[in-house]
Structures are given as C-alpha cells and as structure tokens.
Amino acid sequence: MKEVLTMWRHTQMVVLVALSAAIYAAVLIPFKGFPIIPGAVEIRPANVFPVIFGLLFGPAGAWGAAIGNLIGDFFGTLSPGSIGGFVGNFFLALLPYKMWGAYFRRDENVEQNVSSGKKLAVYIAVAAVASMACAVIIAWWVAVLGIFPFLATLVLIVSNNAIMAIVLGPVLLLALYPRVKQWGLLWTEIMNPEEVPASRLQRVGNVLVWVGSLGGVAVGVILSLTGVASGVGIGLALLPFPILILVGSFILGGREQVEAAHEMIAGEGQESEA
Amino acid sequence: MDPSLYLDRGTWVHRLDPRTKMFLLIGSFVLAFVFLNPLYLLGVLAVVLLFGYLAGVLVNLRRIWFILVAIAIVSAILWSIFGSGRTPLFLFVEREAVTYGIGVALRIDITIIAGMIFLSTTRNEEVAIGLVRLGIPYRFAFAVSTALRLVPTIVATGLTISQAQRSRGLDLESGNFIERIRKHLPLLVPVFVTTVRSTNVFSMALESKGFGASPERTYFLQIAMGRRDVLVLVVFVLLLAGCIALRVVGGYGGLEGFTR
C-alpha cells in the first residue's frame, strides 16, 4: 500500500485528492437532511463516487473519499463515529483499484472501465466487496463505541453503498473514463511503477479481502441475530475481519496496472511517430 | 445555498488558537462518552451549549436541529428494539433500553453540537495551519483546506448546471423523493467534469508558485498559543478530570441493568 504515501509527491494527485473530496462532500451535504440512522447513515446518492474515484484516481481517490466524507460530517454530523467513516470510505475507494488487476491476465486490457461484459462483472464484484468492507469497518467501529447497533448499521451501509455503486456506477464510469483518460489524469498514468508495490501474492490478497468483507458481514449478522455477542463483544469477535481486509490490501499490489498504462502510452507514442 | 458554518463574530472563542479549539473538540468527544446516564449527559450538554452561547454561534443550531431531533427519536427507538434491561416498560421494551437510547442520543447530539461550534468559530485557513502545526504533513492539510474551500464553489456549479438544464425543460421539482433523486443524478456528470478538468491548470498554477519546492514553508497566517488558550485548556482539563473521577472513582453517571 506504499502508493497511498508516495502519491503525495505528485502535485496532480494532491489536487485530485482535494477535488474528489470536494465533489464527494458537495454531493453528500444536501442529503444530510434525509437521514436513515441520524448521525450515522443518510440516503447517499454520492456513494457512487468513492468506487469511481478509486478506479480513476487510485490512492488519490481513496484519500479524496475519506476526506470528503469527513468534510460531509463537518456539515452537521461530526462525532467520534466520523473516524470509522474516514477509514471505511478510504477502503471503499481503495479496494476497487487494488483488486481490479487481480481479475485480468497480464496480456489482457486492464484499463479501469466497463467496456466489456467481463469488465462490467469485475466492476460489480469489486464494488460489492468494497461496499461490504466499508460497512464492516464502520459498523464495527460504531458498535465498539456503543453509538448504534451493529446489525442495523451494517445492513443499511451495505445496501446504501452497493445499490448506488452497482446501479449508477457503470453509467458514470462509462461517461467519465474517456474524459479522464484524455486529460491524462488516470492514476496509472500519473504515478510511476516503482512508486506502487508489485503484486506477488495478488490472488491471496484478493481472497483475504473477500473473506474479510463477506465473512465480516456473515459472522456479524449471525452473532447479532443469535444474540451471542453485542457491543464491545461483537467488536472483539469481528476484529479479525477488518484485519484480514487490511492485510489483503497490503498484499494486493497494483504495479502491473501502472506498467500496463505506461506501456500503452509508449505504444501510442510510437504509433503516432510512425 | 451556503454550506459553510463559519460565523465571523470576533468573540474570545473565535480568537482562540485553532489547536486549542481542536483539543477542546476532541476533549468534548471524550466528555460526552464519560457518562451514560442521561441526567449527567444533560449537564455536559449544558456546558457545551454555554460555550456555544459565549461564542455567539448557537444560531447555527437552526441549520442542524432536524438532525438533532431525528437522532433523539431514532436512537431511542433503535435501542428499545436492540437493547434489553430488567424493568419492563411496555410490550417487549425495557426501561433501561429506552434510557440508554436517550443517553446515546444525547452523546451524539453533544458531539455534533461541539463540531458545529468548532466549525462556526474556526476558518478553513486556521484549520489547515492548525493541522500543520500539530504535525500533519502540509500536502495533506493543503488538500483538506482546499477541499473545504471548494465545496461551496462546487455546490454553486451544481446549481448553475441544474438551472441551465431547467431552462432547457428538465423538470426537477415534480415526482416523489426517489424520482427527484433520479432526475438529479444525470447532473453529477457535468459537476464532475467541470471540476476535474481544472486539475492540470490547478497543478501548474501551484507548481509555478513553488508548491512543494522546499520542505520549509512560511505562512501568511500566524498562530500562537496565548495566556487565554492556556487558561481555557487548564479549566477544560480540570473539568474533564473531575468528570472522569466522578464516573470512575465515585461510580456516578452509569446505567445499571442495561445489556446490549
């Protein structure tokens, strides 16, 4: 995950953090008046953005989603729960771009768009798993703090994130990808390969993130419904799942996407010279 | 629509160092989580409201009252369903669960009001320099303060785009809530495109002014901790220590009989 630190060297990435955070916050704020769980969950059409930001802007999109959510909280719902919101939204944008490369062979087109059936399926998969990971992290945090019940928070965040990202996301990505590519603002074009970790255990990382996300949701629901654990108890019981998500994110890498983008740019340059 | 909460009042609270206000904000979060009993939390709420009154910013409560009331109602309902206690109240609801729900609602309302007071008394520039002085890397603080500054601009862009679409016949007002959301969604694309296409010009403008050229920076806005800051922090730390002692040593402010 070193790219989440090395990206700050690039002025363009710093600007993209600021702009994506501002866009996310600007679309979140008008819907603060329509809470589902007041102070924790609102109706959030803006939740389509973190997955799109992640795929297009990579680590800048992840920081942008986290900061944008925090700024959204600044406009009426800032509380200790905002820490969970910051981390959860960071992973909501981080996981899609980290996992994207795990579904494509080296010789395949790995561009982060939905131009084929396979890419659309991959988009839906990574959006779903990122939505679950985000929900597990936030619901776990608010359960530990004793702010809101785990089950209600989990179900509402998963559905809020997944519906927005899966229904609206492909259309938005289809419209935005060509423009962002034309402006040279894709993270894979801005960052250098050596600034992104190599993907040596990509499949293992992918499995760990799936187990952490899906397992966190499943075990959390079972524990809540059976009443075996609650509050801090459920926080302790579910602790391994956010840790699995974190470890999986470290292992996933992402360099191959940057190398593929740079090879494509070099190829296009040679074609235009010829 | 102006989403900014800042009110230029010039009170002594406004003049406090931003780092002092950040410590007070975090401290008020801790204070809100010390007690569980709603009676004690009402005391904490009174202290926070008094601070907001002295800052002259309680007028901003009008902008978030809906959220505060909704939190109280939903929290009481949720914890009545998901929590349990010893004393039956009605049907399957126990008194301790309702009391806990009210306590949690007060906790969240206190932290939200504290956040509102912080934002109503602290400018974006002060937030940024406060973060830098606390050791947060400059580029991160710059991104946060730039995003905060850009939010009103993007909201205004969104309004301009929606007006342009209305002038072409797009009906954004009719239909139920879901239909109105659906009609607004196509406006996200031009908002995104209008904002993001300025990235390269923005980056060049920053670099032409030496952004990141030197690790050492100077700032137009100067902040310093004064006597007033020290006094406020000492009073607050004493209050916090007193409350923690009351809860931990004295055993006051808890809630007996509630289980989650």
| Confidence at B182, pLDDT banded by 50, 70, 90 | confident
DSSP A164: I
Q: pLDDT tens-digit profile of A230-260?
A: 667 788 888 999 999 999 999 998 888 888 8
B23 and B97 share one domain: yes
d(CA A265, CA A258): 11
Residue B50 has φ and ψ, to the nearest 5°, of -60, -40
Of B114, B150, B184, the CB nearest to A18: B150
- In contact, B155 and B1? CB cutoff 8 Å: yes
pLDDT in tens, A128-157: 999 999 999 999 998 888 777 888 889 889
B26 plus B118 within the same structural domain: yes
Task: State the pLDDT at residue A35.
Answer: 54
Residues B61 and B177 in one domain: no
**What is the domain-level CATH number for residue A130?**
1.10.1760.20
Interface A:B, Cβ pairs < 8 A:
187
> Could you tell me if B149 and B104 lie in one domain?
no
Record the tokens describing residue B24, joined without a space: 């007070």
- Top-confidence range, A65-69, A228-232, B185-189: A65-69
pTM tops 0.80: yes
Q: Answer with the residue of higher pLDDT: B181 or B202.
A: B202
Q: List the domain range (segments joined by +) for residue A89.
A: 3-273
The tokens describing B243, both together, are 């409350």
B132 found inside a domain: no
Q: Are B29 and A79 in contact (CB < 8 Å)?
A: yes
Q: Do B142 and A18 touch (CB under 8 A)?
A: yes
User: Which pLDDT belongs to residue A261?
Assistant: 86
> DSSP assignment, residue B84?
B
B256 pLDDT tier (thresholds 50, 70, 90):
confident
Q: How far is A106 from chain B (nearest CA, A)?
A: 30
Is pLDDT above 70 for B13? yes
Closest CB to A19: pick one of B1, B196, B212.
B196
Say if B34 falls within a structural domain. yes
Q: Which structural domain, as residue segments, surrounds residue B38?
A: 18-122+229-248
Q: What is the pLDDT of residues A164-174, one digit of tens each?
A: 899 889 989 99
Q: How far is A203 from chain B (nearest CA, A)?
A: 32
Model confidence at A43: pLDDT above 70: no
Q: Are residues B156 and B182 in the same domain?
A: yes
Using pLDDT thresholds of 50, 70 and 90, give the confidence band for residue B2: low
Mean pLDDT rounded to a whole number for chain B: 87
Model confidence at B54, pLDDT cuts 50, 70, 90, reads: very high
CA–CA distance, A12 with B200 (Å, rounded to integer): 7
Residue A133 CA to its chain's centroid (Å): 9
Residue B31, in any domain of the structure: yes
Q: How far is B144 from chain A (nearest CA, A)?
A: 6
Chain B residues touching residue A176 (CB < 8 angstroms)? 189, 192-193
Tally the domains of chain A: 1
Find where tokens 């920053």 sit. Answer: B206
| B205 CB-near residues (< 8 Å, 6+ apart) | none
Amino acid B1: pLDDT: 52
Residues B38 and B98 in one domain: yes
pLDDT top residue among B82 and B48: B48
Are B105 and B25 members of one domain?
A: yes
CA distance B154 to chain A (A): 6
What confidence score (pLDDT) does residue A11 get? 93
Determine the pLDDT at residue B185.
72
What kind and span of H or E run contains B43? helix B38-55
Least Cα separation, residue B97 to chain A (angstroms) = 12
Span A89-106, pLDDT tens digits: 999 999 999 999 889 887
Would you say residue B35 lies in a domain?
Answer: yes
Please indicate, yes or no, whether residues B96 and B178 belong to a single structural domain of this protein: no
pLDDT range class, residue B14, cuts 50, 70, 90: very high
pLDDT of A231 reads 67
Q: Are residues B103 and B33 in the same domain?
A: yes
Touching check for B154 and chain A: CB below 8 Å? yes
B113–chain A Cβ distance below 8 A for any pair: no
Q: Compute the mean pLDDT over every residue in chain A, rounded to the nearest whole number.
A: 87
Q: DSSP labels for A2-48?
A: THHHHGGG-HHHHHHHHHHHHHHHHHHGGGGGSEEETTTEE--GGGH
The whole-number pLDDT of residue B83 equals 77
Task: Judge whether B6 lies within some domain.
Answer: no
Interchain CB contact of A246 with B (< 8 Å): no
For chain B, what is the domain count? 2
For B157-198, give the DSSP string.
HHHHHHHHHHHTT---SSS-HHHHHHHHGGGHHHHHHHHHTT
Cβ contacts of A116-122, under 8 Å, gap ≥ 24: A120/A170
Count of CB atoms situated within 10 Å of the CB of B140: 17
Residue B178 CB contacts under 8 Å (≥ 6 apart), including other chains? none
Show residues of chain A in contact with B119, CB under 8 Å.
74-75, 78
CB–CB of B101/A148 below 8 Å? no
Residue contact B196–A16, C-beta within 8 A: yes
User: For residue A37, what pLDDT band results from cuts at 50, 70 and 90?
Assistant: low
How buried is residue B2: exposed, middle or buried, by Cβ count under 10 Å (0-12/13-18/19+)? exposed
A87 has a pLDDT exceeding 90: yes
Same-domain status, B22 and B62: yes
Stretch A206-228: mean pLDDT, rounded? 90
Q: Is residue B234 part of a domain?
A: yes
- What is the pLDDT averaged over residues A115-127? 94
B167: left (phi over 0), alpha (psi -120 to 50) or beta: alpha
CA neighbor of A211 nearest in space, from A188, A243, A177: A243
**Chain B residues touching A231 at Cβ < 8 A:** 260
Q: Is B12 exposed, middle or buried (0-12, 13-18, 19+ CB in 10 A)?
A: exposed
Quote the pLDDT of residue A148: 78
| Residue tagged 């920076």 (tokens) | B217
Q: Which residue has the higher pLDDT, A274 or A240?
A: A240
| pLDDT tens for each residue of B91-144 | 777 888 889 889 988 988 898 899 889 989 998 889 888 988 999 988 999 999
pLDDT for residue A125: 96
pLDDT of residue B66: 81
Of chain B residues 161-190, which have a CB less than 8 A from chain A?
177, 181, 184-185, 188-189
- Three-state DSSP class for B94? strand
- A33 pLDDT above the threshold of 60: no
pLDDT at A12: 94
The pLDDT of B41-61, averaged and rounded, is 95
B108 in the same domain as B37? yes
What does DSSP say about strands B88-90 and B93-94: parallel, antiparallel, or unpaired? antiparallel
- Rounded distance between C-alpha atoms, residue A78 and residue A63, angstroms: 18
Please tell me the predicted confidence (pLDDT) of residue A6: 94
pLDDT for res B260: 65
Q: Which of residues 82-111 of B touch A (CB under 8 A)?
A: 82-83, 104, 107-108, 111
What SS3 class is residue A200?
coil
User: Do B154 and B91 belong together in one domain?
Assistant: no
Assess whether pLDDT exceeds 90 at residue B241. Answer: yes
